[in-house]
Structure 1
Amino acid sequence: MTCGRPAEMRAGGDMRQVCLHLLRDDLPRAGLALARLHAFAPEPGDGKPQAGFDSFPGEAFNDCIGDSLSYFERIHKLLSRPLQQLPTPPAPGPAALDRSALLAQHHWLSRAWARVGQFETRQQQIDEQLRELNQLRKSLAELAGLDLDLGELHNPHRFLHLQIGLVPTENLNKLRRALALSGYLILRTSREPELSRVLIGGPRQTQELQEVLNAAGFQALDIPDDFRAASGQVAAQLTQRQAELEQRQHQLDQAMQLWVDENGLKLMQIKQVLDRARPLLGIGRAAQARGELTQLRGWLAADHLPQAEALLRQNLRHPFLLQQRPPLPEEYPQVPVPPKRHPWLRPFSLLVQQFGVPRFGEIDPSWLFTLSFCLMFGMMFGDLGQGAVFVLLGLLFRSRLGLLTPPLVLAGAASMLFGLLYGSVFGVEHWIEPLWRSPLSDPALMLGYALAWGVGFITLGSVIAIINRLLEQDLTGALFDASGVFSLVLYLSLVGGLYGLAQGDGFHPAALLLLLLALAAFMLHLWRESTAPWGERALTVLIETFELIIGYFSNSLSFLRVAAFSLNHVALSLAIFTLADTMDGAGHWLMLVLGNLFVMVLEGAIVAIQILRLEYYEGFSRFFRADGKAFTPLRYGPAPEVPANPQPHPPLHPRGMP
């Protein structure tokens, strides 16, 4: 694979496998330097040391840095407020990433957590007691108005059963009469609009009493053991406990502030080091070593190689050797595929990866997806005025919309183009003369063009699938897959024959001959691939052939929705104008404005969803395997500026620092 336009058309672009030979001490600096590119993806291989290596130094860094990050995050979570008041410490030097320095910081954080962990324990105790105190206050509020000595409710009574609870106020009189019949009395009442608090007294509790209480909607209240006095005295006790807890919290805050005053600057310096060391967690088994000699392997786009070498020269202290080569065909499934970097293609590339990651070396579906998405949006939502609104909104709010800007602007531009073809401006079809025709002028013709578009789209997808199989040197797949040569010939010959029938010319003999030859070749391949008994094999061949033909035609008919939504757009506009014509003055214009907003928001969203459905299930599922490897590079700091279409450059030869 070479640099330039052919590589851009294939998934993964001009990706290279790089192998960096360096000394073990320089591994952290190399990881940080490559992380600044946001373009180097480590390659752990099969997880076993290659010949000549016996250890994985990256895993040692993982343990050290991972534990340090865990300690720091727990400390920072507890002391975040006093730490915010500290000034920003000076940036750490390169030596801060040495393994010895990282280990020293790990030990410091371990000792710091041993002390700060005591603060956390004390804070948890205070928080728990505050929660209990608040619960007691809530319980006391539920008992308010009964004027009881709550301590008496805890004392056993030999001949008297006391029960306190809530009852709906509307049931209070009925409950009083029912209790009187059972030998019980309501001794205290605190009447409220919805729920009243009651104290019930009488003989020992019986099943009859419980049934009466349940019928009245009675809810028993628990009396905490802490309540052993009158309500006023209990409230005073709770207030005293609140003051004691606040004093303990104040003392704890002072202790934590003192610790931050003594150690906060050191902690924030370690934070800066850990932020720089965090990318090293992604190295893992991509780095292998024997003694001091270390090798780091991964994947890097060819246009990033000069930057990578320059960063390594600036940051590494010892000589190094950087080797690179294109991936071998057998490595393609393991090569990570990054999204397109071009700002107008990247959002569509990310949508492609929502369906699945393309395999490296395949024709990248991002280009076809971008073009077909915009064209279908224009076909289904053709309006010059509404499309112009989309374009203006995308350009005016591009800083807020971010990645949504390119799809919105391009879809709006396509809508404007088809609006000119349809002669539609904000749903009005008599302001401008159409360059072609209005969809409602000939719905049958629109349905025919939509079906033709679907046939063309599916044909292109099958051609791409055939090319992908040939690129993989899979001749059998290119010929006999469900989107292979014989399947495509079968589909096109059947479409051509049916078109002849529709035109009254009959099924053309050439189309019939191609149909029978393709059908025979496809079925013969299925027969030879099957190892089942003859009867089962014949049934399998018939079912799979029938499924292939039905799949092609169901996918083709799905594209009729392209015409359906173009007609629906016109119909909605007519409905809005009809409603507006029933109003006068400001109401007329308000209906027109709100109606157009309704169409742009609701129908625009529905059209976008329908296009994604067509792309994913009628397009991608035909030629896109979606079994590639996601690109997860090391990252640190802001991403560097890289040209969207870099100029080809000569291959980077292995070289080291002098």
Structure 2
Amino acid sequence: MVEKMKLLHITGPKYDIDRVMEQYLSRYEIHFENAASGFGISGHVRPFAETNIYKDACTKAQALWEHLKDEPGGAADYAMPVKMEPAEAEKVVEAAYRLTDEIVKRQEEMRKERMENQSLMDQIAPFRRLDYEFKKILEFQFIAFRFGRIAREHYQKLERYIHDTDHVLFYECDSDEAYVWGGYFVPRVYAKEVDAVCLSFHFERIYIPDSFDGTPESAYQEALQKKQAYDEEEQKLKKQLHDTLEKHAGKITGACAALEHYCNNFDVRKFAVCTTPGRKPGEQTEYYILYGWMSADDARKLEKETAEDSKIHVMEEDVEEHMSVSPPTKLKNPALFKPFEMFVEMYGLPAYQEMDPTIFIALTYTLMFGIMFGDVGQGLCLLIGGFVFYRIRHMNLGAILSLAGIWSTVFGFMYGSVFGFEDILKPVWMRPMDNIMTTLMLAIGFGMFLILAAMVLNIINAVRAKDVGRILFSPSGVAGILCYGCAVLCIVLYAFEKPVPATGILAVFVGVPLIAILLKEPLTNLLERKKKLFPEGESKAMFFVESLVELFDVVLSYATNSISFVRVGAFALSHAGMMGVVLTLAGYESGSPNWIVVVLGNIVVTGLEGLVVGIQVLRLEYYEMFSRFYQGTGKPFVAFSGNRK
């Protein structure tokens, strides 16, 4: 269900906002609206713009906390922080920073040196095969040299050019799938000409630093040793920093928690505005104004708590009085159905006045899953596996899988199937493969019932939204129920060989609702007593043409939506068929089956078909049912306290 909301108008002296937030509002879930956008605010107002005075200290405290967590298990020892005021917390953070200032500075210097050393390694790594001292190359007077890389797609062109030129030498040093690294040597008198040609081949020049002696390999090994030394020093500094902070861990964690708490509370100002009401002569006290949504229960508790506090004024306003403001949606369902809120949120949250379909999807989803995947053994595996997955990973999908496994087990008894074996249990109802047409027809009939149920839910939602046209004349309204329901009744009577109503009766109960659907817009305008019945800027002829096309689509959707449920029966047959194939491959009919094949087959079928069935059931929920009664245009309830880390 969608929890009932109240719009709260909260005001008080500007200087008192932190106390109010700390003492009252931080203990409740409240969805703040931006008061600057205005909900009937009058007088002189301005945004409550202030720099967060706790932000810098909070950032520093979080950095210190990260240092404490660097050691394995470091954070677990300080899970219960010492409670303190913000001024004391800031002093603790500053004191800790002074203690660790030199260590942190050395860490920053070391990181810079390490980056420079890594850059040097990256530059010379491709040229390690060059067994010649770079310093001597740099001293060449008559020979120009260029080191770099060239893409493999252009390297063959460079090779042909060097082969045809007798004054260029290319030395290949390294290569991979994309590039070839090396350098070319050329007399200086030809350098410009050769540089231009190589540039046209996309030769990318790399400038080798002259800051080291020896060969590239020796320089690389020297840089590698420095890297190892930096790694060792980094670990020592990290441990030294952790040991220094560990002596004051309780205070630091307390300061981090306190500053983060006050920093988050301070941010409430971005939702507020300030005003000077001048309630008394000469009074210049500024007041803040906050607007926020709370659940009706929390709103009553807050009003009761603040009744005796003269510095805060809370006024409760009903949603109906402010329908121009879209209330946020907060779902509240029993624990058993709560995991299915995930499917609702995937489609879109219900609007505040709209019905929450969580319980509906929970019941229909698990029921259809069980019908399509009826097997006692595999159902119990889904039940246990989903439960364990939910307990370990706390994911809603595990709970959904476990509940679906219950219905799979139930329909396994109905079908008499245990891990695909159909000679262990006697079916309580029937075996799908023995009654193929009955299974498919019952699936379509079940789908028709669900479609009619969705139409009833649509009428309920339309009544809540006070949409007369949707209630009476929509394809899923009263007209739709009369038309579709009459068609379903005729099919049922025909199937049971009962007399079908006369043609005149059918014309009334099918034709009249279809005409009402065709003329939905003018009929709605007539009931709402609007001057113009037909849409403006459109001829009546064009209106009727478009309406007829839409009516044809409506009738077609009735048929296609109903037939779409045949997959419920088809998958029940498919499951039995796939397990039959597994048992045949295992040689079950011979009397001595290969149990390895049986086990592996059950695993494959459970995983593959379980995934496909889960997706297909969700498709039926969204396209065949949700599309008839549910819009999902609500905005989520975002509690201000929920923004905290």
* TM-score category (smaller protein): 0.7 to 0.9
SS at 1:626's partner residue? coil
- Using the TM superposition, give the Cα deviation of residue 514 of structure 1 relative to its aligned residue in structure 2, in angstroms: 1.5
Q: Which amino acid aligns with 1:39?
A: E
SS at 1:635's partner residue? helix
How many Å separate the matches in 1 of 2:174 and 2:354?
A: 78
Is 2:8 the partner of 1:14? no
- Using the TM superposition, give the Cα deviation of residue 243 of structure 1 relative to its aligned residue in structure 2, in angstroms: 9.9
Partner residue of 1:463?
Answer: 456
How many Å separate the matches in 1 of 2:451 and 2:429?
A: 25
SS at 1:334's partner residue? coil
Partner residue of 1:534?
Answer: 540
How many Å separate the matches in 2 of 1:199 and 1:415?
A: 70
- Using the TM superposition, give the Cα deviation of residue 130 of structure 1 relative to its aligned residue in structure 2, in angstroms: 2.3
TM-score by length of 2: 0.77
How many Å separate the matches in 1 of 2:319 and 2:150?
A: 77
How many Å separate the matches in 1 of 2:150 and 2:11?
A: 80
Q: Is the 8 A contact 2:306 2:313 kept in 1?
A: no
Q: Is the 8 A contact 1:332 1:359 kept in 2?
A: no
Q: How many residues align?
A: 614
- Using the TM superposition, give the Cα deviation of residue 300 of structure 1 relative to its aligned residue in structure 2, in angstroms: 2.7
Instruction: Name the stretch that deviates more: 176-185 or 613-622.
Output: 176-185
- Using the TM superposition, give the Cα deviation of residue 512 of structure 1 relative to its aligned residue in structure 2, in angstroms: 2.4
Q: Is the 8 A contact 1:176 1:185 kept in 2?
A: no
Q: Is the 8 A contact 1:149 1:228 kept in 2?
A: no
Query: CA 1:262/1:123 → structure 2, altered by over 3 Å: closer, same or farther?
Result: same
> Equivalent of 1:629, from 619, 628, 635?
635
Partner residue of 1:364?
Answer: 356
Query: CA 1:274/1:183 → structure 2, altered by over 3 Å: closer, same or farther?
Result: same
SS at 2:293's partner residue? strand
TM-score by length of 1: 0.76
Partner residue of 1:559?
Answer: 565
How many Å separate the matches in 1 of 2:392 and 2:71?
A: 33
How many Å separate the matches in 2 of 1:479 and 1:269?
A: 62
SS at 1:298's partner residue? strand
Query: CA 1:456/1:245 → structure 2, altered by over 3 Å: closer, same or farther?
Result: closer
- Using the TM superposition, give the Cα deviation of residue 434 of structure 1 relative to its aligned residue in structure 2, in angstroms: 0.9
How many Å separate the matches in 2 of 1:188 and 1:545?
A: 78
1:163-312 residue pairs with structure 2 within 5 A?
182-183=165-166, 201=185, 203=187, 204=190, 222-226=206-210, 229-231=213-215, 234=219, 238=223, 268-277=253-262, 278-279=264-265, 281=267, 284-285=270-271, 290=276, 291=285, 296-304=290-298, 308=302
How many Å separate the matches in 1 of 2:287 and 2:349?
A: 35
Report percent identity of matched pairs: 24
Partner residue of 1:512?
Answer: 507
How many Å separate the matches in 2 of 1:538 and 1:293?
A: 59
Partner residue of 2:384?
Answer: 392
Q: Which amino acid aligns with 2:535?
A: S
> Equivalent of 1:609, from 607, 610, 615?
615
SS at 1:629's partner residue? coil
SS at 2:594's partner residue? helix
Partner residue of 1:91?
Answer: 82
Q: Which amino acid aligns with 1:515?
A: V
How many Å separate the matches in 2 of 1:258 and 1:388?
A: 52
Partner residue of 1:652?
Answer: none
SS at 1:328's partner residue? helix
How many Å separate the matches in 1 of 2:386 and 2:175?
A: 58
> Equivalent of 2:602, from 596, 601, 607?
596
Q: Is the 8 A contact 1:78 1:120 kept in 2?
A: no
Q: Which amino acid aligns with 1:285?
A: F
- Using the TM superposition, give the Cα deviation of residue 396 of structure 1 relative to its aligned residue in structure 2, in angstroms: 4.4
- Using the TM superposition, give the Cα deviation of residue 375 of structure 1 relative to its aligned residue in structure 2, in angstroms: 0.7
How many Å separate the matches in 2 of 1:26 and 1:360?
A: 33
Is 2:474 the partner of 1:481? yes
Query: CA 1:21/1:136 → structure 2, altered by over 3 Å: closer, same or farther?
Result: closer
- Using the TM superposition, give the Cα deviation of residue 487 of structure 1 relative to its aligned residue in structure 2, in angstroms: 2.7
> Equivalent of 1:344, from 336, 340, 353?
336
How many Å separate the matches in 2 of 1:458 and 1:615?
A: 10
Q: Is the 8 A contact 2:35 2:290 kept in 1?
A: no
Query: CA 1:355/1:121 → structure 2, altered by over 3 Å: closer, same or farther?
Result: farther
Q: Is the 8 A contact 1:179 1:212 kept in 2?
A: no
> Equivalent of 1:151, from 135, 142, 164?
135
Query: CA 1:209/1:15 → structure 2, altered by over 3 Å: closer, same or farther?
Result: closer
SS at 2:292's partner residue? strand
Q: Which amino acid aligns with 2:17?
A: L
Query: CA 1:192/1:396 → structure 2, altered by over 3 Å: closer, same or farther?
Result: closer
Q: Which amino acid aligns with 2:636?
A: A
Q: Is the 8 A contact 1:493 1:512 kept in 2?
A: no
How many Å separate the matches in 1 of 2:403 and 2:556?
A: 34
- Using the TM superposition, give the Cα deviation of residue 579 of structure 1 relative to its aligned residue in structure 2, in angstroms: 1.2
Partner residue of 1:447?
Answer: 440
The CA deviation string for residues 68-117 of structure 1, in whole angstroms up to 9 with x for no partner, is 54565567668975996997896345x64xxxx59x95x99899999999
Q: Which amino acid aligns with 2:166?
A: G
Query: CA 1:411/1:206 → structure 2, altered by over 3 Å: closer, same or farther?
Result: same
1:71-82 residue pairs with structure 2 within 5 A?
73=62, 81=70
Q: Is the 8 A contact 1:21 1:296 kept in 2?
A: yes
Instruction: Name the stretch that deviates more: 520-529 or 460-469.
Output: 520-529
Query: CA 1:135/1:590 → structure 2, altered by over 3 Å: closer, same or farther?
Result: same
How many Å separate the matches in 1 of 2:406 and 2:239?
A: 62
Instruction: Name the stretch that deviates more: 375-384 or 335-344.
Output: 335-344
- Using the TM superposition, give the Cα deviation of residue 221 of structure 1 relative to its aligned residue in structure 2, in angstroms: 7.3
- Using the TM superposition, give the Cα deviation of residue 494 of structure 1 relative to its aligned residue in structure 2, in angstroms: 3.9
SS at 2:641's partner residue? coil
The CA deviation string for residues 102-136 of structure 1, in whole angstroms up to 9 with x for no partner, is 9x95x998999999999989866653442332232
Query: CA 1:604/1:244 → structure 2, altered by over 3 Å: closer, same or farther?
Result: closer
How many Å separate the matches in 1 of 2:159 and 2:445?
A: 82
How many Å separate the matches in 1 of 2:271 and 2:160?
A: 80
How many Å separate the matches in 1 of 2:114 and 2:133?
A: 24
The CA deviation string for residues 443-466 of structure 1, in whole angstroms up to 9 with x for no partner, is 211111111122111111111111
- Using the TM superposition, give the Cα deviation of residue 543 of structure 1 relative to its aligned residue in structure 2, in angstroms: 1.7
How many Å separate the matches in 2 of 1:395 and 1:255?
A: 45
Q: Is the 8 A contact 2:81 2:251 kept in 1?
A: no
How many Å separate the matches in 2 of 1:275 and 1:600?
A: 48
How many Å separate the matches in 2 of 1:190 and 1:90?
A: 58
- Using the TM superposition, give the Cα deviation of residue 535 of structure 1 relative to its aligned residue in structure 2, in angstroms: 3.1
Instruction: Name the stretch that deviates more: 220-229 or 485-494.
Output: 220-229
Q: Is the 8 A contact 2:370 2:408 kept in 1?
A: yes
Q: Is the 8 A contact 1:381 1:566 kept in 2?
A: yes
Instruction: Name the stretch that deviates more: 319-328 or 455-464.
Output: 319-328
How many Å separate the matches in 2 of 1:225 and 1:575?
A: 70
Query: CA 1:362/1:198 → structure 2, altered by over 3 Å: closer, same or farther?
Result: closer
How many Å separate the matches in 1 of 2:411 and 2:562?
A: 22
Partner residue of 1:42?
Answer: 32
- Using the TM superposition, give the Cα deviation of residue 422 of structure 1 relative to its aligned residue in structure 2, in angstroms: 1.1
The CA deviation string for residues 242-283 of structure 1, in whole angstroms up to 9 with x for no partner, is 799799989998998899699988765442223323255356
Q: Is the 8 A contact 2:272 2:288 kept in 1?
A: no
- Using the TM superposition, give the Cα deviation of residue 473 of structure 1 relative to its aligned residue in structure 2, in angstroms: 2.2
Q: Which amino acid aligns with 1:412?
A: G
Q: Which amino acid aligns with 1:31?
A: M
Q: Which amino acid aligns with 1:558?
A: S
SS at 1:16's partner residue? strand
Unpaired runs of at least 5, structure 1: 1-10, 640-658
Query: CA 1:280/1:449 → structure 2, altered by over 3 Å: closer, same or farther?
Result: farther
1:568-579 residue pairs with structure 2 within 5 A?
568-579=574-585
Unpaired runs of at least 5, structure 2: 277-284, 523-532
The CA deviation string for residues 378-436 of structure 1, in whole angstroms up to 9 with x for no partner, is 11111112112222234445421423443223211111111111111111112111111
1:94-105 residue pairs with structure 2 within 5 A?
96=86
How many Å separate the matches in 2 of 1:262 and 1:419?
A: 62
Q: Is the 8 A contact 2:473 2:520 kept in 1?
A: yes
